[in-house]
């Protein structure tokens, strides 16, 4: 049996092993052969005692960092010090295994009351900037305007999450989008205005990957911009929106500007192995007497987990924020769109490239 394993192979093998042992009751994904070297090595490392421990703690996901050759086993309950002796911390002596708490994700209409930046929006040269609060015009909620984008005909749109302005597929085309978001309207803040009108979403399909095609699942929406609105493509007052796009990678240093936490920095800890489940509970209002609810589990792949530097990278209300990385030449590139956060310092991003390609748009900078 070869011991020259890499973190990605080991992560998918451990995920498969956890699923077979009923430690991880999630959908399946393409994995190495069921009895590959990685699978056999993982099976040898995770003994019956280790399985008992993980069953009690409940595995929520498995991630990998190929740069450091580390596998992360994420559990609903934190692994106690006394339990560590039953768990393996390497596979075949070549792949390191770490255990971290990561509870299941549920996205609702609830938004954090506290805005760490003081105000839920930023003005750049008196213009309402990206990274600021928005919401459907008839819902007491708030999310983030991630970026301004443009299609081949030169029409410009605001980019955010489906669950922020798209009602999880249910917002009707033409519904006004407000800025700041209705939840953030108060005395002394920027007067609310119509920043645009809902245009389209990339559909989210709920259901188990064994029976539903989740290949196109992402969490993104566009709203057509109001030509009379004074907007800036600048990310708050911190940096211009980059027009260059890169794919996210483990260990990549990243930053974002969002409605709740404003400007934060962090690092991509891991890519989640296989489909990652998120529970949604949202309501799209069409009139005072008519609404449509969306409730169910949606699986996404790939998903990247970001750890904030010394604090939260994102909190509720930051959904829709554009995630960027700074390259060696000091220029920035867009890599993802924040769509969820759960632990004190953990956030989740979806790659930006498939989102832009899906809509047929490009980022607007300067």
pLDDT at 341: 84
130 within 8 A of 148, measured Cβ to Cβ: yes
Confidence class of residue 3 from pLDDT cuts 50, 70 and 90?
low
Which residue did the predictor score with more confidence, 2 or 174? 174
Helix (H, G, I), strand (E, B) or coil at 77: coil
State residue 245's pLDDT score.
98
6, 320, 362: which is closest to 163 by C-alpha?
320
Mean pLDDT, residues 22-39 = 64
Note the pTM of the prediction, 2 decimals: 0.95
pLDDT in tens, 215-251: 899 999 999 999 999 999 999 999 999 999 999 999 9
| Residue 31 reports pLDDT greater than 90 | no
pLDDT given for residue 109 in this prediction: 82
Choose which CATH entry (1.10.3470.10, 3.40.109.10, 2.40.10.10, 2.102.10.10) describes domain 110-361.
Answer: 2.40.10.10
Hey, which residues does 136 pair with through a beta bridge?
177
If you search the block for the tokens 């566009």, which residue do you land on? 222
Q: Is the pLDDT of residue 146 over 90?
A: yes
Residue 174 CB neighbours (<10 A): 10
Residue 154 has pLDDT above 90, yes or no: yes
Q: Where are the domains of the chain?
A: 7-103, 110-361
Q: What ranges in 47-101 are assigned the alpha helix state H?
A: 48-57
At 206-217, the pLDDT tens digits run: 998 988 999 899
Pairing of strands 105-108, 276-287: parallel
Say yes or no to pLDDT of 33 above 60. Answer: no
Count Cα neighbours of 182 within 13 Å in the Cβ-side half-sphere.
Answer: 13
Mean pLDDT of the chain: 93
Instruction: Determine the Cα–Cα distance for residues 340 and 338; give it in Å rounded to an integer.
Output: 6
Beta strands (DSSP E) in 230-345 are: 231-235, 239-240, 253-258, 262-272, 276-287, 290-300, 304-308, 322-326, 332-341
H helix intervals, the chain: 7-20, 37-45, 48-57, 162-165, 352-359
- Paired with 250 in beta bridges are none
Pair of tokens at residue 222: 């566009």
Task: Give 291-324 pLDDT, tens digit per residue.
Answer: 999 999 999 999 999 999 999 999 999 999 999 9
Over 90: is that where the pLDDT of 175 sits?
yes
């Amino acid at each position: 049996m070869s011991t020259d394993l890499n973190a990605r192979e080991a992560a998918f093998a451990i995920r498969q092993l956890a699923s077979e042992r009923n430690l991880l009751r999630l959908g399946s994904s393409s994995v190495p052969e069921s009895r590959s070297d990685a699978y056999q090595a993982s099976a040898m490392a995770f003994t019956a005692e280790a399985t008992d421990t993980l069953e009690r703690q409940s595995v929520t996901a498995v991630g990998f960092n190929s740069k450091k050759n580390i596998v992360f086993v994420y559990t609903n309950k934190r692994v106690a010090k006394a339990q560590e002796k039953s768990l393996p911390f390497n596979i075949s002596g070549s792949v390191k295994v770490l255990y971290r708490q990561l509870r299941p994700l549920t996205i609702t209409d609830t938004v954090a009351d506290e805005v760490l930046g003081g105000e839920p929006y930023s003005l750049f040269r008196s213009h309402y900037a990206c990274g600021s609060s928005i919401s459907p015009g008839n819902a007491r909620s708030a999310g983030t305007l991630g970026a301004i984008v443009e299609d081949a005909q030169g029409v410009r749109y605001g980019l955010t999450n489906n669950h922020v302005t798209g009602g999880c597929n249910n917002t009707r085309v033409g519904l006004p989008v407000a800025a700041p978001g209705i939840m953030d309207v108060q005395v002394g803040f920027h007067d609310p205005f119509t920043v645009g009108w809902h245009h389209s979403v990339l559909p989210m399909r709920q259901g188990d990957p064994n029976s539903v095609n989740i290949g196109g699942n992402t969490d993104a929406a566009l709203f057509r911009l109001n030509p009379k609105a004074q907007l800036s493509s600048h990310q708050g007052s911190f940096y211009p929106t980059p027009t260059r796009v890169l794919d996210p990678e483990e260990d990549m240093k990243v930053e974002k500007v969002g409605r709740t936490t404003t400007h934060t920095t962090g690092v991509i800890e891991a890519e989640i192995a296989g489909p990652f489940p998120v529970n949604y509970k949202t309501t799209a209002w069409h009139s005072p007497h008519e609404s449509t609810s969306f409730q169910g589990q949606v699986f996404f792949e790939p998903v990247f987990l970001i750890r904030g530097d010394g604090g939260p990278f994102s909190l509720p209300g930051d959904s829709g924020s554009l995630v960027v990385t700074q390259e060696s030449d000091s220029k920035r590139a867009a890599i993802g769109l924040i769509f969820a956060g759960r632990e004190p310092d953990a956030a989740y991003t979806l790659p930006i490239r498939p989102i832009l390609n899906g809509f047929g748009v490009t980022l607007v900078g300067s």
